[in-house]
Protein backbone atom coordinates (compact mmCIF):
# COMPACT_ATOMS: atom_id res chain seq x y z
CA UNK A 1 0.00 0.00 0.00
CA UNK A 2 2.75 2.45 1.01
CA UNK A 3 4.78 1.54 -2.11
CA UNK A 4 1.78 2.20 -4.35
CA UNK A 5 1.12 5.54 -2.68
CA UNK A 6 4.76 6.58 -3.06
CA UNK A 7 4.68 5.58 -6.72
CA UNK A 8 1.50 7.59 -7.31
CA UNK A 9 3.02 10.61 -5.56
CA UNK A 10 6.20 10.19 -7.62
CA UNK A 11 4.30 9.97 -10.92
CA UNK A 12 1.99 12.86 -10.05
CA UNK A 13 4.92 15.07 -9.06
CA UNK A 14 6.80 14.21 -12.28
CA UNK A 15 3.66 15.07 -14.26
CA UNK A 16 3.38 18.39 -12.42
CA UNK A 17 7.03 19.12 -13.18
CA UNK A 18 6.27 18.54 -16.85
CA UNK A 19 3.28 20.88 -16.58
CA UNK A 20 5.54 23.57 -15.06
CA UNK A 21 8.03 23.20 -17.93
CA UNK A 22 5.28 23.30 -20.54
CA UNK A 23 3.76 26.43 -18.99
CA UNK A 24 7.14 28.19 -18.98
CA UNK A 25 7.73 27.21 -22.61
CA UNK A 26 4.23 28.40 -23.54
CA UNK A 27 4.76 31.71 -21.73
CA UNK A 28 8.10 32.33 -23.40
CA UNK A 29 6.82 31.22 -26.81
CA UNK A 30 3.73 33.37 -26.44
CA UNK A 31 5.81 36.38 -25.44
CA UNK A 32 8.13 35.94 -28.43
CA UNK A 33 5.19 35.49 -30.79
CA UNK A 34 3.48 38.51 -29.23
CA UNK A 35 6.55 40.70 -29.64
CA UNK A 36 6.96 39.63 -33.27
CA UNK A 37 3.36 40.59 -33.90
CA UNK A 38 3.40 43.53 -31.46
CA UNK A 39 2.06 46.22 -33.79
CA UNK A 40 -1.13 44.24 -34.40
CA UNK A 41 -1.46 43.45 -30.67
CA UNK A 42 -0.86 47.02 -29.60
CA UNK A 43 -3.60 48.25 -31.90
CA UNK A 44 -5.97 45.59 -30.50
CA UNK A 45 -4.79 46.48 -26.96
CA UNK A 46 -5.70 50.10 -27.60
CA UNK A 47 -9.03 49.28 -29.23
CA UNK A 48 -10.08 47.10 -26.27
CA UNK A 49 -9.36 49.95 -23.88
CA UNK A 50 -10.71 52.77 -26.04
CA UNK A 51 -7.21 54.11 -26.73
CA UNK A 52 -5.78 55.38 -29.98
CA UNK A 53 -2.53 53.49 -30.59
CA UNK A 54 -0.36 53.89 -33.69
CA UNK A 55 2.55 51.39 -33.30
CA UNK A 56 4.12 52.46 -36.61
CA UNK A 57 5.10 55.74 -34.93
CA UNK A 58 6.89 54.02 -32.06
CA UNK A 59 10.49 54.96 -31.34
CA UNK A 60 13.16 52.44 -30.36
CA UNK A 61 12.78 53.59 -26.76
CA UNK A 62 9.06 52.82 -26.84
CA UNK A 63 9.67 49.36 -28.31
CA UNK A 64 12.29 48.75 -25.63
CA UNK A 65 9.83 49.78 -22.95
CA UNK A 66 7.14 47.53 -24.44
CA UNK A 67 9.58 44.58 -24.37
CA UNK A 68 10.62 45.34 -20.79
CA UNK A 69 7.03 45.80 -19.61
CA UNK A 70 6.07 42.46 -21.12
CA UNK A 71 9.19 40.71 -19.80
CA UNK A 72 9.10 41.71 -16.13
CA UNK A 73 5.92 39.86 -15.05
CA UNK A 74 6.87 36.97 -17.33
CA UNK A 75 10.32 36.54 -15.76
CA UNK A 76 8.86 36.73 -12.24
CA UNK A 77 6.21 34.13 -13.08
CA UNK A 78 8.79 31.84 -14.71
CA UNK A 79 10.91 32.06 -11.55
CA UNK A 80 7.87 31.09 -9.48
CA UNK A 81 7.22 28.12 -11.77
CA UNK A 82 10.88 27.10 -11.42
CA UNK A 83 10.46 27.07 -7.64
CA UNK A 84 7.24 25.07 -8.00
CA UNK A 85 9.12 22.63 -10.26
CA UNK A 86 11.79 22.31 -7.53
CA UNK A 87 9.10 21.69 -4.91
CA UNK A 88 7.62 18.85 -6.96
CA UNK A 89 11.12 17.47 -7.44
CA UNK A 90 11.51 17.22 -3.65
CA UNK A 91 8.05 15.69 -3.29
CA UNK A 92 8.95 13.08 -5.92
CA UNK A 93 11.92 12.11 -3.71
CA UNK A 94 9.56 11.77 -0.70
CA UNK A 95 10.88 14.94 0.92
CA UNK A 96 7.81 16.64 2.35
CA UNK A 97 7.99 18.71 5.51
CA UNK A 98 11.41 20.34 5.44
CA UNK A 99 12.69 23.88 5.37
CA UNK A 100 13.61 23.51 1.69
CA UNK A 101 10.12 22.36 0.63
CA UNK A 102 8.56 25.22 2.56
CA UNK A 103 11.00 27.73 1.07
CA UNK A 104 10.07 26.56 -2.45
CA UNK A 105 6.36 26.83 -1.66
CA UNK A 106 6.79 30.30 -0.16
CA UNK A 107 8.95 31.45 -3.08
CA UNK A 108 6.30 30.23 -5.53
CA UNK A 109 3.56 32.07 -3.63
CA UNK A 110 5.55 35.30 -3.42
CA UNK A 111 6.58 35.09 -7.08
CA UNK A 112 2.95 34.61 -8.08
CA UNK A 113 1.96 37.58 -5.93
CA UNK A 114 4.76 39.68 -7.42
CA UNK A 115 3.87 38.58 -10.97
CA UNK A 116 0.24 39.65 -10.52
CA UNK A 117 1.25 43.03 -9.11
CA UNK A 118 3.93 43.45 -11.80
CA UNK A 119 1.40 42.56 -14.48
CA UNK A 120 -1.09 45.15 -13.22
CA UNK A 121 1.62 47.82 -13.07
CA UNK A 122 2.99 46.71 -16.42
CA UNK A 123 -0.40 47.01 -18.10
CA UNK A 124 -0.86 50.45 -16.60
CA UNK A 125 2.56 51.58 -17.85
CA UNK A 126 1.93 49.92 -21.22
CA UNK A 127 -1.13 52.10 -21.76
CA UNK A 128 1.03 55.16 -21.17
CA UNK A 129 3.79 53.95 -23.51
CA UNK A 130 1.26 52.93 -26.17
CA UNK A 131 -0.27 56.42 -26.26
CA UNK A 132 3.01 58.30 -25.78
CA UNK A 133 3.03 59.75 -29.33
CA UNK A 134 -0.60 60.75 -29.31
CA UNK A 135 -1.48 64.44 -29.24
CA UNK A 136 -2.24 66.02 -25.89
CA UNK A 137 -5.66 64.96 -24.71
CA UNK A 138 -5.43 61.54 -26.39
CA UNK A 139 -2.76 60.11 -24.09
CA UNK A 140 -4.05 57.69 -21.52
CA UNK A 141 -3.19 55.99 -18.28
CA UNK A 142 -5.32 52.86 -17.94
CA UNK A 143 -5.57 51.18 -14.53
CA UNK A 144 -7.54 47.97 -14.13
CA UNK A 145 -8.14 45.41 -11.42
CA UNK A 146 -10.52 42.54 -12.03
CA UNK A 147 -11.66 39.25 -10.62
CA UNK A 148 -8.79 37.48 -12.42
CA UNK A 149 -6.18 39.46 -10.46
CA UNK A 150 -8.17 39.11 -7.27
CA UNK A 151 -8.33 35.32 -7.57
CA UNK A 152 -4.61 35.05 -8.36
CA UNK A 153 -3.76 37.25 -5.38
CA UNK A 154 -6.00 35.10 -3.16
CA UNK A 155 -4.37 31.95 -4.56
CA UNK A 156 -0.89 33.36 -3.83
CA UNK A 157 -1.93 34.45 -0.33
CA UNK A 158 -3.32 30.98 0.48
CA UNK A 159 -0.05 29.32 -0.54
CA UNK A 160 1.96 31.89 1.43
CA UNK A 161 -0.12 31.21 4.54
CA UNK A 162 0.25 27.45 4.07
CA UNK A 163 4.03 27.90 3.78
CA UNK A 164 4.04 30.00 6.95
CA UNK A 165 1.98 27.39 8.84
CA UNK A 166 4.31 24.62 7.63
CA UNK A 167 7.30 26.67 8.82
CA UNK A 168 5.75 26.94 12.27
CA UNK A 169 4.92 23.21 12.27
CA UNK A 170 8.51 22.31 11.34
CA UNK A 171 9.86 24.52 14.16
CA UNK A 172 7.40 22.96 16.61
CA UNK A 173 8.38 19.43 15.52
CA UNK A 174 12.08 20.28 15.97
CA UNK A 175 11.37 21.65 19.46
CA UNK A 176 9.44 18.52 20.39
CA UNK A 177 12.24 16.30 19.03
CA UNK A 178 14.76 18.10 21.25
CA UNK A 179 12.60 17.65 24.36
CA UNK A 180 12.12 13.92 23.85
Nearest to 129 by CA among 54, 74, 71: 54
Predicted confidence at residue 144, as pLDDT, reads 82
- Residues 29-58 pLDDT 10s: 998 887 777 666 666 666 666 666 665 667
d(CA 99, CA 92): 16
The model carries a pTM of: 0.84
Beta carbons within 8 Å of 6's beta carbon, 6+ residues apart: 94
CA atoms within 13 A on the CB side of 111: 18
d(CA 171, CA 113): 25
Across residues 104-129, what is the average pLDDT? 93
Determine the 3-state secondary structure of 37 from DSSP: coil
Determine the 3-state secondary structure of 5 from DSSP: helix
Nearest to 43 by CA among 57, 53, 34: 53
Residue 153 has pLDDT above 90, yes or no: yes
Higher pLDDT, 83 or 40: 83
d(CA 108, CA 71): 18
Amino acid sequence: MKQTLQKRVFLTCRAMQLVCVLIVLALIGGAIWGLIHAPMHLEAYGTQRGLIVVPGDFSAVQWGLVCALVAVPLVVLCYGLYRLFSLFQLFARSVYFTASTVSHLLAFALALLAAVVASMLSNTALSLVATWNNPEGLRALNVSFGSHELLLLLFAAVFAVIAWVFTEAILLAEENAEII
